[in-house]
């Protein structure tokens, strides 16, 4: 169960769970996406995972170990299929009652291509999904692309959403929010002051208290970028993250 301090209960408030039924506009893209999930997870569990890239404007997988199957054909097929169904995927995220379908729609946005800023702008309000898995996959999709956002006002809206995300008690929210903030801070140095003024305290808190490597690690790297002179307290008995 997620727990927050008294007076901060709003961090556990989300939009109402959708109650509609919205079918996927294409079954093939759903099947391919599920296959990619299975193959990348199996490779990661075997200790030779793929690396991910959004350089082509959609998610692709590289195999630095040379031990994995070439996923290029499936990725290219998704890059062909998904863009015409972007609005369908966003509609599923807004209205579909089954969180597993919303989760799959969030993942498929990785191949929506086209107007990435437009997609991020439309997806941003959906980060308030009541399901942790949906929030995880939606913010995970954003990691590859937030550094490409040229609109300063959109970047600042994204920063606000990610700061709220890292203040939530779940590991997935904290981890993905930090990596998104880190992506913006690396790509847009002028935004580092904005991140510091709006999220400096929770970032410092996670840097000093997290005992989970993929929360504390990006928190430390992010804090070093936004506040290079920050003095951290000596670790004593750190408060573990809530899984």
**Residue 4 pLDDT > 70, yes or no?**
no
Q: What is the pLDDT of residues 35-44, one digit of tens each?
A: 999 999 999 9
d(CA 147, CA 221) in angstroms, rounded, equals 16
d(CA 183, CA 225) in angstroms, rounded, equals 11
**Domain limits of the chain?**
19-144, 167-231
Instruction: Please give the pLDDT value at position 119.
Output: 97
d(CA 191, CA 182) in angstroms, rounded, equals 11
Assess contact for 157 and 124: CB atoms under 8 A: yes
Q: What is the pLDDT of residues 62-83, one digit of tens each?
A: 999 999 999 999 999 999 999 9
Instruction: Please give the pLDDT value at position 239.
Output: 41
Mean pLDDT of 209-213: 91
Instruction: Please give the pLDDT value at position 230.
Output: 81
Instruction: Please give the pLDDT value at position 10.
Output: 53
Kindly report each contact of residues 159-166 with a partner whose C-beta sits within 8 Å and lies 24 or more positions away, as own/partner. Answer: 159/184, 159/191, 159/194, 159/195, 159/198, 159/199, 160/198, 161/124, 161/127, 162/199, 163/195, 163/198, 163/199, 163/202, 164/11, 165/127, 165/135, 165/139, 166/199, 166/202, 166/203, 166/206
**pTM score over 0.75:** yes
Q: What is the pLDDT of residues 45-68, one digit of tens each?
A: 999 999 999 999 999 999 999 999
**Residue 5 pLDDT > 70, yes or no?**
no
Instruction: Please give the pLDDT value at position 234.
Output: 55
Residue in the block written with tokens 């959109």: 154
3-state secondary structure of 15: coil
Q: What is the pLDDT of residues 89-98, one digit of tens each?
A: 999 999 999 9
Phi, psi (rounded to 5 degrees) for 143 = -55, -40
Mean pLDDT of 90-112: 98
Q: What is the pLDDT of residues 117-173, one digit of tens each?
A: 999 999 999 999 999 999 999 999 999 999 999 999 999 999 999 999 999 999 999
| Residue 11 confidence class, pLDDT cut points 50, 70, 90 | low
């Amino acid at each position: 169960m997620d727990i927050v301090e008294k007076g901060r209960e709003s961090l556990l408030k989300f939009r109402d769970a959708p109650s509609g039924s919205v079918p996927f506009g294409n079954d093939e893209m759903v099947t391919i996406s599920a296959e990619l999930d299975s193959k990348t997870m199996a490779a990661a569990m075997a200790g030779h995972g793929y690396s991910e890239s959004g350089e082509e404007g959609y998610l692709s997988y590289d195999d630095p170990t040379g031990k994995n199957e070439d996923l290029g054909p499936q990725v290219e097929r998704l890059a062909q299929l998904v863009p015409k169904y972007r609005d369908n995927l966003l509609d599923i995220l807004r209205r579909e009652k089954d969180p597993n379908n919303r989760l799959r729609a969030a993942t498929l946005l990785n191949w929506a291509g086209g107007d990435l800023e437009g997609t991020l702008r439309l997806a941003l309000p959906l980060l308030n999904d009541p399901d942790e898995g949906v929030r995880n996959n939606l913010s995970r999709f954003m990691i590859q692309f937030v550094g490409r956002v040229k609109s300063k006002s959109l970047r600042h809206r994204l920063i606000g959403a990610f700061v709220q995300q890292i203040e939530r008690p779940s590991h997935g929210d904290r981890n993905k929010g930090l990596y998104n903030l880190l992506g913006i801070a690396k790509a847009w140095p002028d935004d580092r002051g904005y991140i510091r003024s709006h999220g400096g305290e929770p970032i410092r808190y996670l840097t000093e208290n997290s005992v989970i490597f993929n929360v504390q690690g990006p928190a430390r790297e992010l804090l070093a970028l936004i506040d290079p002179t920050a003095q951290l307290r000596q670790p004593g008995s750190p408060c573990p993250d809530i899984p």
